[in-house]
Every structure is written in C-alpha cells, then in structure tokens.
Structure 1
Amino acid sequence: MSSNGKDAPAPDNSTPLNLQACLEECMEAVDLFLNNRFSESLDKLRPRVNESMYHALIYATVLEMQAMMTFQHDDIVRAGNTMKSAQEVCQRFRKKSLNLSSKSSGDVLSEEQLHAEVCYAECLLHRAALTVLQDENMVNFIKGGIKVRNSYLIYKDLHAFIQSHSSVQGPNHLHLEGGVSFGIGAFNLTLSLFPPRILRLLEFAGFSGDKEYGLSQLNEGATSMNLRSMLCALLLLCYYTFLSFILGTGEGDVADAEKLLKPFRVRYPRGAIFLFFAGRAEEIKGNIDEAVALFEDGCRAQQAWKQFHHMCYWELMWCFTYKRVWKMAYFYADLLSQESRWSKAMYVDMKAAYLSMLPPGEARLGTTVINCSPQWRYGQVPTFKQKIAGKSPPTEKFAIRKARRYKASSPVRLPVPVLEMMYMWNGFTMIRKRPELTKGMMETLVEAERTLQDTPVNEYSVDDQCVIQLLKGLCLKNQGQTQAAENCFNKVYSSEKKIKFDHYLVPNALLELSLLYIDLGRREQAVKLLQKAKNGYKDYSMESRTQFRIHAALSKLQADTNDTDESTEL
C-alpha cells in the first residue's frame, strides 16, 4: 500500500534491469525475507527469474531453505528444478570457452560475466545438496559429488582470478567478493571439520580445508553489505552455535556468535532466524530461561513458515530436558512428531524416552492423559526410519538399536534414555556453567543407578552400568571433581570386554577422559587416548560423530602447540 492508502502501481517488469539494479532489487527481497515477509520476498523476485541471474538464484535459494525445513519430497524436487533453471539463466551470462587461469582473461571478461561465474558456482553447490536429499540412491549421491567438485573448482579459480586482477573492479565488486567469500569460506570451513582419513581422500580429489581461513572469509562476507551477507552469517552462526558442539569439543565461541548477531538483531529485531540464534547463544551460556523466552518469541514472530517453529521446538525440548521438566520436553517432542518430517523416528524415540522418565501415574499433560506406555512408543520407532543419500541418519540408527530391547517378551527398561541421547548431542557441555542443573542430572543418575542395583542381573546389566558411569563422569567433570570423573571413565574402559551391545561407550569414554586430561594439562596422555579411540574401534553407534569430535580435540591440541611454539619464539 502507498502512504495515501491507495494501491501502489505494479512495478514495470517489462524493462530489463542492469546488473546494479538487479542487485539492489535482490537486496530488497533479502531484506523482506529477514523481516519474516517471505511471500513478499518471493513476489518481488518471481517476475524476473527468467531474465536476471541474481533474481533466479535468490528465488531458488529461498525455495531451497523452505524445502530443507519442510523435508517434503515434492518441495525438494521443486526447489531442485528451480535451482536448475537458475543455473541455466546464469549460463546465458557466462563467457564461452572461459579459462580463468589465463592471464589474458582479465582483458576480455566483463563484470557481468564475472558475476555469472560466481552465481553459477553457487547454483551448483545448492543443487548438490538438493540432489543428495532428493532421492536415496547412490547415483544421486555421486551426481551431487560431481556438482560439488565443479563448484569448488570454479570458486577456487575465481578467487585466484580476482586476487590477481585487483585493478579490474566494477561498481558491484563488493557483491562479487561476497559471493566468492561465501564459496571459499564454506568449502574451507566444512572440509576442515572432516577427520584426516576422509580429508585425505578429498585432498586427492583436489579439495583442501583451512578452518581459520574459512572463518575469516565468511566473516569478511558477513560483515560487508553485500547480497551474500545473510548466507555467510547463517553459516558462521551454525558453526559457532551448533557444529562446534555436535562435531567438536563443545567450545563454541559464543562471543563471536553474539558479535555477529548484534547488527542483525538491531536491523531485524523481530527476524525469526536471528531470534532463534540469539536463543541458542543464551542456551550455550547456560541461561536456559532466557533461551526459552527467545525461542518462544521466535515462534510468535511469524506464522507463515511453521518450519521455523520446528527449529525452536527442538531447542525448547532440550531446554526443558536440562531443567528436567520431562512433561514439557515431551510436549515439544510430541509437537515435532506431529508436524515435522525431519526425523520422526527420533521424535518418537524422544517421546518414549520422556515417558520412561515419568513416575507411574504421572503420564498426564494438563487434562490430557498420555495413555501409551514407553514399550509401545519404542515399538513404533523403527517404523519411521528414513534414508538420506542412501543411508539412515546415525541418530535414527542409534534410536532404533536402543528400541530393540523393548521388543522382547520381557523387555528391559533403558536406565536413562533421555540423558544418553542428550550426550549424543553434547548437551552436558550446555549445563556446565549451571551447577544446579548438573546437580539435578546427577540426582537422576544416582536414582537410576540405585534402581539398576535392585534389578535382577540380565544381559544388559553391564552396558547399563557403563552408560551411567559415562554420564556420571561428565557431571563430575562439570562439578570440578576431576579424580572422581576420571574413575568413572576408566570404569567404562575397563569393562570393554564385558559390554555386549553399546560398543560406542568405550571410544567415547576414552574421548571424554582425553578431554579431561587436556583441561588438566596432561597433553601426552590425552594424545595417546585420542589416538587409541580414533584407531582402535570401528563399526559402533554414532561412529562418525565420535570421529569428528576426536579430530576436533586433536586439532585443538595441535593449534595450542603451535601457539605455544610461536610465543616461545617471540
């Protein structure tokens, strides 16, 4: 609507826009998106998706974000087709027979053709992700890999090209640099997270990863006013608040996350995405009530994309888990199981886990009685198994394995299923700054240990005892009782030959013991344990996640060693 209340005239889309005008209009569309005005954002982009590479790319990117959150097959296919069309639009603007490594290229390559290269590489990267998600066969996985490699090579050549042709800068060079920063930063950061055995294969194929360089490139892209600022910022926020916890040692740099968030929070105070990451930052600091308020605010901020709500529900579920408010945690797990398609097996598993934490007779939410037993719930878990890139997600496999013991005619209860899954998401690091929360978890574990001692010995007894010892060790570490924590981890390790099912416990106990030793300055012992955990065990539950965390711990030790060496030289 115009300021005088009359309908504003429809924009004239018949006249082609130049590159600068296209970028300005796309910036406006991104601005609408970040203000939760999703439909308006798409409406602004849609009329020019067949004539402007940037309109086509941003339009397809928004659809891709939606598809990845809905996880509906039709949405993923639609986003993939739209991204393919965007790639074809970009192709029309590319220079034919281009060789970026040629020194003479700068003399004949226009600004528009340079932008076409970076947009084309970005389309390939997005299409690779959608190709892998679209179907569960290995052919699609290989196709996705080829797209990733082609994208990487274009970014690599383009980066080298604009570095060596610094004098060739058009009026929209900032947006070009932002696109290259996003691609180079994303590849370097992502590849640096992989364990050496995987990285060696990738390096053989021409890839390389430098974490610090990746972070610096993304930070450069996020803090300059360019079209990719949002993508760079979102990737950095994901790294600082998620990846460094789930695939790392649980030392996410929340200060960097908050510094990055600050200007976005000022500009988009009701932006659902930034409310979500602000909540995650508070959660990491142990400010659980503040996190809950921000996640709830994120849900209220917009109603157009319910998928944003699901991200908040997942975090709210864990926030109430840390507080041991099992009924509220169950409430959010139940909402997710009804509304989200991301991992129904996981959501149903968590519902069963929360039910098992409630005392008999307390299975009630408000006026609603939860009349399904944990045994019945666990029996449902395998029926919701799904595949991505031809494989079931590791967390779903783990949940299904755990649910098997409820199939027996005389099922044996899991001792602390919620806390065990909380460990898999590295949740014990989230409560280490809140002594009362760690104390509550320890009370739950002591009670479970007492129940286990009163239960007749069965084939799961040793495994269940070791689960409790591992989790007690984490609580004791949080409480500063290092010797007691060390004893707990060693009890798991010494029980290696007696464990029948939960073989993941030993390498993870060694990992946690090594992290304890790192904190105590016992570096040599830590390295030995990490190498043993890394090379001595295979084919156990959640192996890839454990290997990522081992790699992160070894990288941290290496980085600390380098820092010490440099300071000594100075």
Structure 2
Amino acid sequence: MNLISSLEECTTGLYLFLNNRFSDAINLIYPWSHNSMYHALIYDILMVVKAILTFEPHDIQIGMTTAKNALKTCNSFRRKSRITSLSRIVTKHGIKALKEEELHAEICYAECLILKSAVTFIQDDSLLGFLKSGINVGLSYQIYKDCQQVLIQIPNYQSKSHKHLVGGIKFGLGAFNLMLSLVPPKTLKLLNIVGYFGDREVGLGLLQESASENHINDILSAFTLLFYYNYINIAFGVEKGYNSAIDGLFLTYLRKFPNCVILVFFHARFRMLKGHFEFAQVKLRKCIFIQNEWKQIHHLCYWELMWCHIFLQEWREAYHYASLLSQHSRWSKAIYTYSKAIILALLPSDLVSEDMNALFLKVDSLRIKIFGTSVPIEKFVAEKGERYATTSGWFTAQPILEFLYAWSGFRVMSKRLDLISSWLSLIDKGEDILKENPSKEYGTDDISLLHLLKGLCLKHLGKYSRAEQYFNHVIQKEKLLKYDHYLVPYTHYELGILYYLKGDYVSAKKSLDNIKNYKDYAMEARLQFRAHIALEQIAKPNSQ
C-alpha cells in the first residue's frame, strides 16, 4: 500500500461514510490502519466522531485506543533523529533531504494529535488531562506552521499527492486560526499555547479554499465551516458575521452527496436559521429515516426538532422530543429532564402525565462533570430547577424564556418577526402577571429577566430606542437583584450589540468593556467569549 494507493482507498472509505454506509467505511479502512498513515488517520476520525456522538464509555475508550494507535502508525513514517525543524532542514540541505512521505506523515500526525485531544477532553476530567490536551494542541499547531514553511520554500514542487498535502495544511491552519480567534487571551495561557493568536478571517478563508479543492481533507474543511456558521457563530458571534459564500459551497456538497445524513442535518439547520422551521422539520425527519446505524444522529435531530416546536410554541410536540432525548441520549440527562419540566409547565393539566416538580428536583442529580467541575449550563438549570420546584406563583412561561435565551433561541428566531412578536406578547403577559402578584423573594429578578428579553425582542424588531430603555431598566436595578446576577453583565452585552448594529462603536465598546467589572455569575465564561469576539469585531477597520 503506497502513498497514492492509500489516499485513493481512504477517499473511497470517506465516500462510503458520506453515503451513510458507516460499517462498510470502517471495514474498508480498518485492515490497513496499522500500516498506512492515511488509513490510521481516517479510522481515527471515524472512531472519535462515534465516541463524541455516543458518549458511551466503551466507545470513548475505543476512540482513545484508536487515537494512540494512529499516532504510533503516523510516527513510524515521520523523519527519524530530527533535532531541528523540517523547514530548517530544507533551508540547509534542499528539498531532496526530505521525503514527500515524511511531510504527509507530519500532517497526519498533527491531525491525530487534535483527535487525541478531543477524546482526552471528554475522558479525563482532571487538570492534568486538560493540560495534556493543551500541549497536544500547541504541538499540532507548530507542526502545521512548520509544514507550511516547507511548502513556501518549494513553490514548484509537484506530485500526484501534492494537493492532499496543501489541502491538509490549509485545513489545519484554517481550523487553528478559527479556533484560537474565538478564545480570549487569558484562556490561551491556561491552554499552554501562549504566543499563538488566531485570525478569524484568515481561518475562514483557508477553510473555504480547502473545502473548495479536491483532496482527502476537503470534507472535514466543509464540516468545520458548516459547524462554525450553524452553531459557533450563532452562540458567540455578532449579528453581522454571516458569509453567504458558504451557501454555494454547501449546495455543491449536497448535490454530490444528497443523502449524506450529516449534510441533510446541516441543510435543516440552515433552513432553521433562515426562519423556515416547518421545512427544517421535514429535513430532520428525513435524517432520521435515511440511516439507522448510528442512532445518536437521531438524537441530534430530536434536539433540533424539539427547538423547532418550541419556537412555534407547539408544546405537546416539543415535549415528545424532550422525552425521547431523556430516554435515549447520554449527552446531558440534566438538560433533557429540565426541558421536559419547563415544557410541562405550559401544557394543559389534562395532558400532563408526569410530576413537573419531581422532574425539576431530579435535574441536580443528573449533572455531569468535566475536569472535575460542573458544566455551566447544567449548573444553571439545576439551580433553576430547585427554585421552580420549591416555589409557587411564578409565571409559567418564565423557565422556557430563560432557557430560550441561554441557548441563543431569540437569535435563531430573528428572521421570523412574526414569532418574535408572538414571544413578545407572551413576555408582556408575564410582565402583567408579575406586576399584579410580585414575589417578595424573586420579584426584582423576575421582572428584570423579562425586561432583558423584552429589550432583545424589540431589538430584533428594529425598535432600538425602546429596546435600549428596557436594557437600561435592568442595569438600574443591579443592586436590587438577589439571585440572577448574570442579568446585568448579559444586558451590558446586549446593549453593546445594539449600539454596534446602530453604528455607534464608541458606545458599543463602552458597554462591552463594562462586562469585565463582573465576576462569579452564571454562564460567565460564555459571555467572556462573546464579549471578546464582539470587541475584536468592533476594532476591525472595516467595522467602522
């Protein structure tokens, strides 16, 4: 199995995978995974993806074993007895001092390091595991940069496998630039990769180039872009950050693999983000129908279907999918149980078969830990679950409104002004109820939440002045808040984005800078990421 043969067979394996023939892909790739670097890499990718999807301890262990074996296989093809970097070897001795196979081995090794870091992240909950992941990430990035320098030194070098080398480097550097651009500098120091800073535009550009070319990593580049625009940008990005060029790229892949379950899933998500929730439901159901081998993909569909029904305020259907998730998915039993409880609060009593308060109280016992610490969103819903189970008189839609905000739901709905208006009516109703029967304990916190969400809806409806008034109401009540201290820093963020959309960059920066004055509130890390990205966007010359 030479280099060209291995690239051809691995491409066939990937095509099988993209046509939902998962077992066939694995059976083709596995036999050579200890003797061929690209077979080792592709098998590693398949096993790590499966581990992340299932979250089953058995699959996670297989993922870790595969990652270690893949590193060992790739390492056997790397240059031996290397004291200096590859780029310096080429500078000193010329390209003939380096075998092409050794360059490919470096790229495969760097990619396997990232995969091992991903498995370590979900398997080892210790600080040591966290640091190991950071070291592997830093080493991988350095390998990609070194290989890029080698290619710069040999511009006329061509071979049958050259495009795979170039595409792999673009994928690696693109992914790193994108990932590191999202991380605040303080977090980079913790990751032990100090000195590396990413440029988001460079990263997106490299990934788009890589996804547009024909090589072994093209589909990974495309999936990285799709995940970024469909999830990361919605959760953390500012509201002007969409690149329409990704639509054409996505459609090219969808035409090539019309039944690829991952591409159909992203098609559904794309349509959700354009406000076509009913169409998205059709695509998500198709996802469930076209493959039955990796049932965990069904769970991703259940999650999105649940949200489609929540956005449309179809509570019975939303509850159905929340129930399926709580029964079958291992990802976050706490989140799924809380989802069921908050939807039950809105169902007519004759349709309710479970004890809502019992579900709320159960959430805390279902939390998981990563690196010995709680997942912030799980901690948030556990505290809320206890509050709603042990108190009465709260507005029945309040838990789902909070949950919607925590998952960027209003941002997802922003293209559907009719739905934003419908949710605004629900918030108005809650405001009237809370004013008539204010809670002595939670009154200020409750009304402040509704004012934040009211401001958010008004912002999406283009009513900036009224939105600003409601945001300021929350900030003015800061000292009266008893529990929900996250409301004020998050309001500063929403106010900053409002100013940004209006083109008032000075006020936007001032509001976002205010976030640094707050510590120890719910979902703090998430807001720090968001603020970092927004401030970076405002600082760019083209923003002005």
Q: Are 1:358 and 2:347 an aligned pair?
A: yes
| Residue 278 of structure 1, aligned match among 263, 267, 288 | 267
| Residue 294 of structure 2, aligned match among 297, 305, 310 | 305
AA aligned opposite 1:268: F
1:529 to partner: Cα distance: 0.8
8 Å CA contact retained: 1:241, 1:254: no
1:390 to partner: Cα distance: 2.6
Whole-Å separation in 1 of the counterparts to 2:368 and 2:456: 32
What pairs with 1:394-473 in structure 2 (closer than 5 Å)? 394-406=376-388, 408=390, 416-473=398-455
AA aligned opposite 1:247: F
Match of 1:349 in 2: 338
| Residue 492 of structure 1, aligned match among 471, 474, 480 | 474
4+ runs deviating over 4 angstroms: 199-204, 409-415
8 Å CA contact retained: 1:90, 1:119: yes
Greater mean alpha carbon deviation, residues 200-209 or residues 222-231: 200-209
Match of 2:537 in 1: 556
Match of 1:267 in 2: 256
Whole-Å separation in 2 of the counterparts to 1:124 and 1:66: 17
8 Å CA contact retained: 1:326, 1:357: yes
Q: TM-score, normalised by structure 1?
A: 0.91
1:262 to partner: Cα distance: 0.9
| Residue 249 of structure 1, aligned match among 227, 238, 244 | 238
Match of 1:84 in 2: 68
8 Å CA contact retained: 2:174, 2:205: yes
Match of 1:544 in 2: 525
AA aligned opposite 1:438: I
1:85 to partner: Cα distance: 0.6
What is the total number of aligned residue pairs between the two structures? 539
8 Å CA contact retained: 1:473, 1:489: yes
For the structure 1 residues 67 and 358, does the alpha-carbon distance in structure 2 shift closer, same or farther, using more than 3 Å as the test? same
Q: Are 1:101 and 2:87 an aligned pair?
A: yes
1:255 to partner: Cα distance: 2.2
Q: Are 1:511 and 2:511 an aligned pair?
A: no
Structure 2: unaligned runs, 5 residues or longer:
none
For the structure 1 residues 288 and 532, does the alpha-carbon distance in structure 2 shift closer, same or farther, using more than 3 Å as the test? same
Structure 1: unaligned runs, 5 residues or longer:
1-16, 365-369, 565-570
Match of 2:164 in 1: 175
AA aligned opposite 2:529: F
AA aligned opposite 2:76: R
1:406 to partner: Cα distance: 3.8
Whole-Å separation in 2 of the counterparts to 1:221 and 1:257: 13
AA aligned opposite 1:427: G
Match of 1:568 in 2: none
AA aligned opposite 1:303: N
Identity of aligned residues (%): 41
Match of 2:508 in 1: 526
For the structure 1 residues 97 and 166, does the alpha-carbon distance in structure 2 shift closer, same or farther, using more than 3 Å as the test? farther
8 Å CA contact retained: 1:241, 1:252: no
Whole-Å separation in 2 of the counterparts to 1:405 and 1:40: 50
For the structure 1 residues 105 and 495, does the alpha-carbon distance in structure 2 shift closer, same or farther, using more than 3 Å as the test? farther
Match of 2:121 in 1: 132
Whole-Å separation in 1 of the counterparts to 2:507 and 2:191: 30
1:413 to partner: Cα distance: 6.3
- Where 1:101 maps in the other structure, the secondary structure is helix
Whole-Å separation in 1 of the counterparts to 2:189 and 2:308: 38
Match of 1:9 in 2: none
For the structure 1 residues 249 and 414, does the alpha-carbon distance in structure 2 shift closer, same or farther, using more than 3 Å as the test? farther
Whole-Å separation in 1 of the counterparts to 2:498 and 2:349: 38
AA aligned opposite 1:354: I
| Residue 456 of structure 2, aligned match among 463, 470, 474 | 474
8 Å CA contact retained: 1:244, 1:252: yes
Q: Are 1:186 and 2:172 an aligned pair?
A: no
AA aligned opposite 1:101: S
AA aligned opposite 2:282: A
- Where 1:443 maps in the other structure, the secondary structure is helix
What pairs with 1:41-52 in structure 2 (closer than 5 Å)? 41-52=25-36
Match of 2:356 in 1: 374
Whole-Å separation in 2 of the counterparts to 1:390 and 1:175: 40
8 Å CA contact retained: 1:111, 1:170: no
1:109 to partner: Cα distance: 1.0
Whole-Å separation in 1 of the counterparts to 2:246 and 2:316: 31
AA aligned opposite 1:542: M
